[in-house]
């Protein structure tokens, strides 16, 4: 494969980049420290890639560092499988956390100590109401909440109860620890949020050591502070949580107080990105696993043939803003086209073969034609493509009664076989059902290489493979998983009802030029005139190649709309 890197778009300014630039200029920070904080409860998707590129990208561009921190505060839901896949995805995208692989669970002891400090300051209390009762007293956006009868518990009693919670003296749900902020706050997040709950569940990293676990809002800001994060970048839905983020750090008077900055999450048309929906798609076998090439997961995109560079370029193209919007799937597809156009070697493949016998061509003879691996990049070299008296062409490159504007093969007409000869259709053979089974052509021996000796014009050029030398393969034509831009949105009962019935078409018996026989790993090609294809990393075997279509050559979806 080639090592050509397609150019990344210029790094555009955005409001977060401006804040960082300012903070370095003013001396507020000398080093930028960001983090990507996934919860290991699912596979990463293209939305996460936006956050990864932003956090790692900023740190990289400003000579700082970015941590990978697993937000593993919820013991019931997390799994090692997800952690491994997240690490692999981040590396695959081209980012490196160096020594800074962290886990919120590493801070459990420190988080506990801080909670005790908050109790001692009279800023936290143990509440013994049930979750339902707490919810009942929380109030609404228009009505203030009401204080819990346990809010006035003396510090000593709170300390004793919290210690007992840690020691496992109480069953799940018996008590929680809450911050004492303001039950009348217009911001619901500040109405005495719960910061610890009892959960007698083993944690995949800390085992049975803990039976109380901190809540996200509490653990996240302190984890950021412990790690010396300067800019804590998150999505817009956390804007209302920022006062709580700041409240906790102020209350504890921690020396490092990161700045939380919110940006608009990525929403992509023609797909879904909620973890719940992605999990349902997998569990209900509506797709073939997390790495189904139609999934917006990074493992899916990778198997589909997306390159890390194309995903980074996409994230750079869409930019970073403050208002939620939808990005068209076409932009992601364009990003991979643009990248593969530069780096993918060309090859010839016939997906729906039609046999063409070339009359007059010496039987048993093989000729080798030089074919450029890339039309615009001689450094990618050439390969030899064998030719013999029988070739396969694409079924739809022949029309018995050619439509207006059809310049390919038809009875009595000439067409150029790319790199080889000009051929003329002399006869058509059909089976008992009237199905065309074979085309007979004559050829112009003087047109070797493709140009007619007398300079006559031949409009059409088509691709082909030699029947005797071709390898057989399976090719999977993937298309968008959903056929509406906002699956499950307005006027759609459920996102499942918008699944695109044509999102996969599996073609067996495709014929590929023999140079593809040895393709390995994640080899990507442009199959001439057809699109970009990637070897299927899971199902391809030596002698039994399987290719996935990454993208068509052009955006057929926007053409449909026109």
Name residue 368's beta-bridge partners: 386
- CB-nearest residue to ligand ATP: 47
In 180-331, beta strands by DSSP E: 194-198, 212-214, 231-235, 259-263, 267-268, 326-327
Least separation in angstroms between CB 97 and ligand ATP:
14
> Among the options 87, 138, 265, 440, which is catalytic?
265
What whole-number distance in Å separates Cα of residue 397 and Cα of residue 352?
A: 10
Let me know if 39 is a catalytic residue: yes
- Least separation in angstroms between residue 309's CB and ligand ATP is 19
* d(C-alpha 192, C-alpha 177), whole Å: 9
Burial of 127 (0-12, 13-18, 19+ CB in 10 A): buried
The nearer residue to ligand ATP, 308 or 386, going by C-beta atoms, is: 308
Query: Of the two residues 49 and 420, which places its CB atom closer to ligand ATP in the complex?
Result: 49
SS percent in the chain: helix, strand, coil, step 5: 30, 25, 45
Cα–Cα distances in angstroms (integers) from residue 491 to residues 133, 258, 279, 561, in the given order: 36, 43, 23, 20
Task: Please say if 265 is a catalytic residue.
Answer: yes
- For 364, phi then psi, to 5°, come to 85, -10
Q: Dig out the tokens for 136 from the structure.
A: 């009942």
Rounded to 5 degrees, what angle do the CA atoms 1, 336, 236 make?
A: 135
Please, what is the minimum distance in Å from the beta carbon of residue 517 to ligand ATP? 40
Integer angstrom CA distances of residue 88 from 66, 315, 329, 351, 536: 16, 19, 24, 33, 18
Cβ pair 365, 389 in contact under 8 A: yes
Q: Is 474 a catalytic residue?
A: no
Which is the catalytic residue, given 275, 383, 424, 440? 275
Q: Which of 17, 39, 138, 338 is catalytic?
A: 39
Stated length of the chain: 562
CB of 196 to ligand ATP, least distance (A): 19
Between 47 and 485, CB nearer to ligand ATP: 47
- Nearer to ligand ATP by Cβ, of 41 and 146: the residue is 41
The neighbouring-strand residues paired with 541 are 544
Helix axes 216-226, 108-120, angle to 10 degrees: 110
Smallest distance, ligand ATP to C-beta of residue 480, A = 18
Bridge pairing between strands 65-70 and 33-36: parallel
CB of 46 to ligand ATP, least distance (A): 8
Helix or strand holding residue 340 (H, E): helix 329-343
Q: Which is nearer to ligand ATP, 100 or 448 (CB)?
A: 100
Of residues 277 and 529, the one with the C-beta less far from ligand ATP: 277
Among 555, 559, 557, 548, smallest CA distance to 351 is for 548
- Which lies closer to ligand ATP via its Cβ, residue 312 or residue 469? 312
Positions touching ligand ATP (CB under 6 A) are 37-39, 41, 47-48, 50-51, 234-235, 265-266, 273, 275
Q: What is the DSSP string of 88-109?
A: HHHHHTT---TT-EEEGGGGHH
Nearer CB in complex with ligand ATP: 47/173: 47
> In b/e form, how buried is each residue of 254-285, taking b as 16+ CB within 10 angstroms?
beebbbbbbbbbbebbbbbbeeebbeebbeee
Q: What residues are annotated to the active site?
A: 39, 265, 275
């Amino acid at each position: 494969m080639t090592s050509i890197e397609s150019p990344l778009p210029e790094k555009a300014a955005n409001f977060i980049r401006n804040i960082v630039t300012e903070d370095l200029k003013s001396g507020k920070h000398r080093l930028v420290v960001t983090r990507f904080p996934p919860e290991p409860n699912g596979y990463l998707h293209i939305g996460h890639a936006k956050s990864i590129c932003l956090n790692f990208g900023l740190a990289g561009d400003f000579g700082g560092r970015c941590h990978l921190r697993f937000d593993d505060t919820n013991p019931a839901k997390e799994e090692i499988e997800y952690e491994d896949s997240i690490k692999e995805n981040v590396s695959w995208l081209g980012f490196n956390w160096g020594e800074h692989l962290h886990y919120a669970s590493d801070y459990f002891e420190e988080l506990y100590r801080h909670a005790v400090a908050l109790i001692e300051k009279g800023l936290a209390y143990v509440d013994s109401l049930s979750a339902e009762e707490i919810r009942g007293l929380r109030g609404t956006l228009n009505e203030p909440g009401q204080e819990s009868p346990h809010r006035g518990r003396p510090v000593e009693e709170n300390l004793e109860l919290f210690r007992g919670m840690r020691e496992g003296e109480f069953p799940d749900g018996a008590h929680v620890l809450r911050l004492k902020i303001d039950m009348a706050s217009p911001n619901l997040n500040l109405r005495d949020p719960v910061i610890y709950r009892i959960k007698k569940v083993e944690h995949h990293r800390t085992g049975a050591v803990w039976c109380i676990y901190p809540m996200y809002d509490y653990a996240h800001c302190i984890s950021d502070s412990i790690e010396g994060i300067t800019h804590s970048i998150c999505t817009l839905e956390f804007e209302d949580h920022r006062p709580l983020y700041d409240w906790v750090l102020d209350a504890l008077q921690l020396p490092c107080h990161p700045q939380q900055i919110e940006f608009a999450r990525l929403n992509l048309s023609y797909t879904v990105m909620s973890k719940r929906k992605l999990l349902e798609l997998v569990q209900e076998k509506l797709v073939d696993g997390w790495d189904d090439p139609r999934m917006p997961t990074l493992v899916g995109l990778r198997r589909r043939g997306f390159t890390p560079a194309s995903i980074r370029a996409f994230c750079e193209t869409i930019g970073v803003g403050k208002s939620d919007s939808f990005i068209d799937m076409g932009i992601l597809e364009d990003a991979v086209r643009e990248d593969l156009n530069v780096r993918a070697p060309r090859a010839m493949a016939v997906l729906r073969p039609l046999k063409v016998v070339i009359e007059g061509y010496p039987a048993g003879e093989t000729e080798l034609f030089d074919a450029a691996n890339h039309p615009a990049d001689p450094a990618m070299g050439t390969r030899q493509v064998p030719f013999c008296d029988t070739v396969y062409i694409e079924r739809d490159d022949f029309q018995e009664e050619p439509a207006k504007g059809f310049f390919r093969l038809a009875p009595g007409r000439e067409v150029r076989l790319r790199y080889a000869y000009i051929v003329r259709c002399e006869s058509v053979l059909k089976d008992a059902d009237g199905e065309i089974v074979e085309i007979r052509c004559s050829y112009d021996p003087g047109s070797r290489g493709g140009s007619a000796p007398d300079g006559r014009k031949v409009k059409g050029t088509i691709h082909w493979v030699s029947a005797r030398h071709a390898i057989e393969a399976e090719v999977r034509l993937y298309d968008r998983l959903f056929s509406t831009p906002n699956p499950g949105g307005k006027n759609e009962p459920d996102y499942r009802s918008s699944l695109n019935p044509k999102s996969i078409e599996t073609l067996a018996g495709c014929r590929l030029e023999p140079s593809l026989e040895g393709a390995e790993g994640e080899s990507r090609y442009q199959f001439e005139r057809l699109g970009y294809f990637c070897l299927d990393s899971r199902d391809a075997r030596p002698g039994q190649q399987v290719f996935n279509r990454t993208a068509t050559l052009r955006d057929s979806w926007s053409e449909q709309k026109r």
